[in-house]
Amino acid sequence: MAISVNNKVTPSSIRRPAVAMLGGTFDPIHHGHLRLALELRDRLGFDQVRLLPCAQPVHRESPGCSALQRLEMVELAVGDESGLWVDDREVRADRPSYSFATLQSLRAELGDSASLTLVMGTDAFLHLDSWHRWQELLQLCHILVVVRPGWHLPEQHRMKHWLEQHRIEQVQQLKQQPAGSVLLQQLASLEISATAIRQQIGAGQSPRFLLPDVVWSHIRQQGLYLSPASDYANSN
């Protein structure tokens, strides 16, 4: 049966739609992000994986690349891949938003019954308690923390008790409720970082095969991420 994520009234006999939100700077988007999105769709069975570029963070510089340009690259990379959605709400808002506000807006759009999961890495999770209204996040969504094999929260960590209160073990449990749980999940991770890609381009090296060709072509056409010393974009 087709699953609608806009239908606010989902009869209990119908499986509730499961939506994953993968936020990030995507500066630029690369195969690490895209493989993660596909694992969320295929291995974990999310109906929708929303890639949501953030607006330009005030504290972070990006050489020659605006939020709209990052959004454009995410759109090019995702193309018409089924189940992957590009969510432009933060970029269009044109100012950095708290994740809480973004999730409120997404929840309003999806309705109360959809299962909504915020995906993050361990670095973000370790500092979750510095986020705006972080303790209310679980009223809006679940949290899925992507972990490396053998990772566990240090015994004395201040998030330990909170994690134990909300932790579940199976992804199926995420899909049975709209919000409220935390899952630590191991997923294949490619050793690719956007920072390294930007550095390579700036140093005149090719990042090809770390990101989709369509994105790399776009970067060259637009002259993104070039340091003044590099003329790589013009020579390839």
Which positions touch ligand ATP (CB under 6 A)?
A: 22, 24-27, 32-33, 36, 120-121, 189-190, 192-195
Distance in Å, CB of 188 to ligand ATP, minimum = 8
Alpha carbon of 38 to those of 6, 32, 71, 214: distances in Å?
22, 10, 19, 18
Q: Which is nearer to ligand ATP, 120 or 226 (CB)?
A: 120
Q: Which is nearer to ligand ATP, 108 or 196 (CB)?
A: 196
Three-state SS string across 55-89, please? Answer: CCCCCCCCCCCCHHHHHHHHHHHHCCCCCEEECCH
Q: Which is nearer to ligand ATP, 225 or 232 (CB)?
A: 225
Is residue 16 within 8 A of residue 10, CB to CB? The reply is yes
Distance in Å, CB of 48 to ligand ATP, minimum = 17
Q: Which is nearer to ligand ATP, 10 or 18 (CB)?
A: 18
Is residue 113 within 8 A of residue 156, CB to CB? The reply is no
Distance in Å, CB of 60 to ligand ATP, minimum = 8
Q: Which is nearer to ligand ATP, 32 or 207 (CB)?
A: 32
DSSP string, 101-159: HHHHHHHHHH-SSSEEEEEEEHHHHHTGGGSTTGGGHHHH-EEEEEE-TT----TT-TT
Based on its alpha-carbon atoms, the radius of gyration of the chain, rounded to whole angstroms, reads: 19
